[in-house]
Structure 1
């Protein structure tokens, strides 16, 4: 087996190739498609949220991913809205699941949530008098879904059959309490024991270049330390790590069933959960650079036969 260091050196030598794999123009297209005013904030249970699910499924099919939901690409579940702005209600939600089957025994999960908070009626808006106002959610989380779709495209259309499968999941109802990812781990469409690790993206479109991108979950497996030790900081976007696996997004659901996780996040900003989180504010060049770092980590992990889980809970 090649060492991680050797793999790292090889990948660095391909820097020009890697820089060409992800397309800034395509990332921008996805964000504008998901976060324009016609999508009305993709609130759970809305027809616009359904359109977003169809958009993702269409691209999964285009890239040749196999459907691995319970109804084609879709895994339906019920989401309860418990908010003071509207009466309690039950809404139908969906995960969208595409499978890159490389004939391997283990699978890497790549996820991002595609719902947002709609027109302010399901709660969570931080703006005053925002009921009826469209919350586009360009950063939260059209940026993560754009990253999900680009990773799916690159892995599905390259000339390599990796030694792990990939399961791409766009989660529904994250804003209501991680409901889509919790439903998946409770009703998995692959055996959870075969999952190598899980990468999650939530709000990766507004990079603070002084701070860098946050990568939470570094401590969930000792193997991550080996991979990160090979990263040349001059070759990739600035980043910093957090040890804990929990942290306000869908990787938490996987962490809680003892699956190693990494969660990529560019941090809060004044437009978070407000009607001003619009596509023109996303930093598409930095979003592309974050994907290049993610792919380096993913490709390095392909060389590892095991990804032992290490609990990061404090005693």
Structure 2
């Protein structure tokens, strides 16, 4: 069993060497709608059987994510290569088959920096209706493909990994990319991670979470939660040029994996395109994804991340109310 160790370098050194200058952008690795759609088509295919926690389909999805991590040159950062194993409880009461083996899938882009940005998205869904909270009146036996929830977020995770590993820059922060398991059972993967983190939680610059970013509605726009979790977020957002409409919300807690980090006093951002009639239904399929809009959302995230990397480690602010 091994644990990745992230090297520490003085923040002063980064400032003296110009480490916090504006980063160049490589057009060749900008978010690509075709690649996004390909990821979602694979992760939300019927053969994945809804990616239920502990299922063969979720294991297939984990192997796919690991292959992409290797392709983008991310170092294994789990306790078993890319995997961080844990046991997920499927039901509130322990009965036969209620405990499932689960794995967070963790890859590191190590820039030998003192602090780390965590990028997260959950890759599990509701399987064939026996776990989680399906909205179907008779869910069992129906494959819940979870294209928006949350193959879309995983596609965003992988596109950010592709960009930051391939843009030709050595960034002033490390990146830890985490595909969380068992989110649908109560944020179990992210809760396990923050209690058994592979790096000191206090060394996290901020956590960015993507959950359901594939069904952009131009009337609503993309919601960005967590705006109130650091006093620096307003200045980070000042100069972003968005190709999509967006709005912010202060709340740092909520029903997705960023909430586990907020509970540990880590500044967070949460990207979400909103609910729709296919939410937690067997009809949440890949052909309903707006990949072009998702590419613009990810481009917005890149701008925000790059602005945040011009700053020292973000201070945490508790959101009142």
TM-score bracket, normalised by the shorter chain, equals over 0.9
Corresponding position of 1:220 = 229
- Match status 1:303 vs 2:317: no
What is the Cα deviation at residue 251 of structure 1? Answer: 0.2
- Match status 1:247 vs 2:254: yes
What is the Cα deviation at residue 22 of structure 1? Answer: 1.2
Corresponding position of 2:193 = 184
Q: Conserved in 1, the CA contact under 8 Å of 2:109 and 2:165? A: yes
Corresponding position of 1:126 = 135
Distance 1:52 1:313 in 2: 38
Distance 1:63 1:247 in 2: 31
TM-score, length of structure 1 as denominator length: 0.92
Distance 1:236 1:18 in 2: 16
The one of 277, 284, 291 equivalent to 1:270 is: 277
Corresponding position of 1:42 = 51
Corresponding position of 1:288 = 295
Change in Cα spacing, 1:295 to 1:124, as seen in structure 2 (3 Å) is same
Distance 2:209 2:278 in 1: 21
**Unaligned 5+ runs, structure 1:** none
What is the Cα deviation at residue 231 of structure 1? Answer: 2.5
Change in Cα spacing, 1:292 to 1:18, as seen in structure 2 (3 Å) is farther
The one of 141, 144, 154 equivalent to 1:135 is: 144
What is the Cα deviation at residue 122 of structure 1? Answer: 1.2
Q: Conserved in 1, the CA contact under 8 Å of 2:29 and 2:166? A: no
- Match status 1:145 vs 2:154: yes
What is the Cα deviation at residue 236 of structure 1? Answer: 2.7
What is the Cα deviation at residue 230 of structure 1? Answer: 2.0
> What do residues 131-176 of structure 1 show as CA deviations (whole Å, max 9, x unaligned)?
1000000000000000000100111112100000000000000000
Distance 1:213 1:19 in 2: 25
Distance 1:180 1:313 in 2: 26
Number of positions where the alignment pairs a residue of Structure 1 with one of Structure 2: 303
Distance 1:219 1:236 in 2: 23
Distance 1:216 1:294 in 2: 13
Describe how 1:78-227 pairs up with structure 2 within 5 A: 78-82=87-91, 89-227=98-236
Counterpart secondary structure, 1:219: coil
Q: Conserved in 2, the CA contact under 8 Å of 1:82 and 1:88? A: no
Q: After the TM superposition, which parts of structure 1 deviate over 4 Å for at least 4 consecutive aligned residues? A: 17-20
Counterpart secondary structure, 2:134: coil
What is the Cα deviation at residue 216 of structure 1? Answer: 0.2
Distance 1:196 1:266 in 2: 24
What is the Cα deviation at residue 19 of structure 1? Answer: 8.8
Distance 1:284 1:96 in 2: 24
The one of 299, 308, 319 equivalent to 1:312 is: 319
TM-score, length of structure 2 as denominator length: 0.90
Q: Conserved in 2, the CA contact under 8 Å of 1:80 and 1:88? A: no
Describe how 1:64-79 pairs up with structure 2 within 5 A: 64-79=73-88
Bigger helix fraction:
1
Q: Conserved in 2, the CA contact under 8 Å of 1:138 and 1:279? A: yes
**Unaligned 5+ runs, structure 2:** 1-14
The one of 30, 35, 54 equivalent to 1:26 is: 35
Distance 2:237 2:68 in 1: 31
Q: Conserved in 2, the CA contact under 8 Å of 1:214 and 1:241? A: yes
